[in-house]
Amino acid sequence: MRTTATAALAGAVGIVIGAAGWALLGPEESSTESKPEAVAAQSSTPAADRFTSAQQIAAALQAGGMTVSMLHKSSEDTYISEVGGTAYDFTVTDKAGQPAVGDSGINMFPNREALTAWAEISKSMGGIAVTGDTWAISLPTVSTEARADSKRLAPKVAKVLGGTVQQ
């Protein structure tokens, strides 16, 4: 049995680089044109708690002009699954016609405490995420290019979703 620290590390790494197991769930792959705009690290939209599923988050990102790939439910044992949450792998970018620089994750947590603990683990490992009340978007940081793109993209994701950038 994994220790809590090992599970947390595996969860954070798994979200950063994507999970190995896939179960089909989510929107069809699509692309939309992105709209350039200046954004703040925290949105003034007070609706970050309106999302109750990864599908809703992906749809909101698409409606906000982002290109989102199909969601895949992770079957890997991680901190997220240990606390009763669910992780989904996908890609997100605001550059129409260009592939994302790495895999991202949508993490749905059972409560705010589990999300807060995960966010601290993610930040301690150099992660970049956008969080809401019980959800998080984990952005890729596996390379210098991915980290730079995630730092640029995080405020835009936060604005679309009404979330807060964590890094």
pLDDT of residue 98: 87
- Residue pair 109/136 in contact (Cβ under 8 Å)? The answer is yes
State pLDDT tens for residues 7-53: 443 443 343 333 323 233 333 333 333 333 333 333 334 455 589 99
Count other Cβ atoms within 10 Å, centred on residue 32.
Answer: 15
pLDDT of residue 48: 53
- Residue pair 32/67 in contact (Cβ under 8 Å)? The answer is yes
pLDDT beyond 60 at 119: yes
Residue 88 pairs with which residues in a beta bridge?
73, 106
H or E segment and range at residue 138? strand 135-139
The average pLDDT across 144-148 equals 95
The average pLDDT across 101-105 equals 95
The average pLDDT across 124-151 equals 96
Whole-number CA gyration radius for the chain: 14
Which residue, 129, 166, 136, 165, is CA-closest to 43?
Answer: 165
